[in-house]
Amino acid sequence: MERKLRGRGMAASWYGIARTATIDRAGAWAELDDGGTAKIVTGVTEIGEGILTLLAQVAADELGIKPSEVTIGDNDTARSPEAAHAGATRQTYMIGNSVHLAAREAKKHLFEQLADHWEVEIDTLQSFDGEVWSNDTNLRITMEEAVAICKARGVVPVGSASFTAHGTGLDPVDGSGSPWQTYVFGTQVAEVEVDTYTGEVQVLGIWAVHDVGRAINPRGVEGQIEGGVVQGLGQALMEDYEMVDGHTTTHGFAKYILPTSLDIPQINCTLVEDHDPLSPLGAKGIGEPALVPTAPAIMNAIYDAIGVRMKSLPATPEKILHALKYKTPGREQYVQAARELRAQAHRT
């Protein structure tokens, strides 16, 4: 047998967006303020996924101003509309849509007053990059001036909205039901190199193609996919979280192996924008779905390389060597083999 064998594997996945088998909802307030700026208030929680940037983009796009001119307000739930938790890949889908609708209502109040002031039809009004104008006329002013006119007429251009995603539980008998309102789909391909002498697996490349609905922030989406792939690689090859009778027996992070920058291959992302018809934004989400196909794709690539199925994660060098020797990845056998290897290492 050659020392180093290469293989490729593929895995596909689907994933439901927002909370399951229930009615998910989120609310938001939006206001066009003095100076032509805007503020958005919602109970959103930023946990590093970039939701605040996305909400600024959503509001700016709907109102016709720059994202830098949007302020996201305090998310204290005692002073802001409910947005629910940060999880279930729901932030963009639920809160993004509520902010979009709230900004649309605020702009509607502004346009109503401006159309009456200019004596034009409201359908002729448009806004973009901090300016407001009426088509087929010479009427054009800044957003700051438009807000001043609106307020001078006694109206504050403010809007509120909520967005709801409906789901039903699964029937316990036949499994029928519709637990999610929308779904995303993804496929990943992994190429690996297996060292048959040491059992080490090196991932040479990952190709990830994901349906995300409308990609509001493409760079942010790619970052989410790359983060999911890195987590999936750790799950596939390194992270060995042990439990006995429901209690962790993993000693700590000192010897808990995590992927580093040296372990991460080139990750090639392709976005498929299949807009969600039930979403005003057309967006879906890409948090947890980016993780789902990674480990199966790597396991399939290992099988393509060595011809043995690895059915237990992580696929450590000890397990790979045991699979090559016995042509089986049985858990009891590789656990015993790992113990023997460790004992032998201690003796030497």
Could you list the active site residues? 288
35: alpha, beta or left? (left if phi > 0; alpha if psi -120 to 50): left
Q: Is the dihedral of CA 253, 293, 329, 202 positive or negative?
A: negative
333: alpha, beta or left? (left if phi > 0; alpha if psi -120 to 50): alpha
**Helix 143-152 and helix 97-118, axial crossing angle in degrees, nearest 10:** 70
User: Distance between CA atoms of 163 and 69, rounded to whole angstroms?
Assistant: 24
**CB neighbour list of residue 275: distance below 8 Å, 6 or more residues apart:** 213, 214, 282, 283
Q: Is the dihedral of CA 14, 19, 22, 25 positive or negative?
A: negative
Element of type H or E holding 25: strand 24-32
CB distance 183 to 17 below 8 Å: yes
Element of type H or E holding 149: helix 143-152
**CB neighbour list of residue 348: distance below 8 Å, 6 or more residues apart:** none
Q: Is the dihedral of CA 205, 209, 210, 215 positive or negative?
A: positive
Instruction: Identify residue 192 by its one-letter amino acid code.
Output: V
Residue-wise burial string across 94-126, b where 16 or more C-beta atoms lie within 10 A, e elsewhere: bbbbbbbbbbbbbbebbbbbbbeebebeeeebe
**Helix 294-306 and helix 317-326, axial crossing angle in degrees, nearest 10:** 40
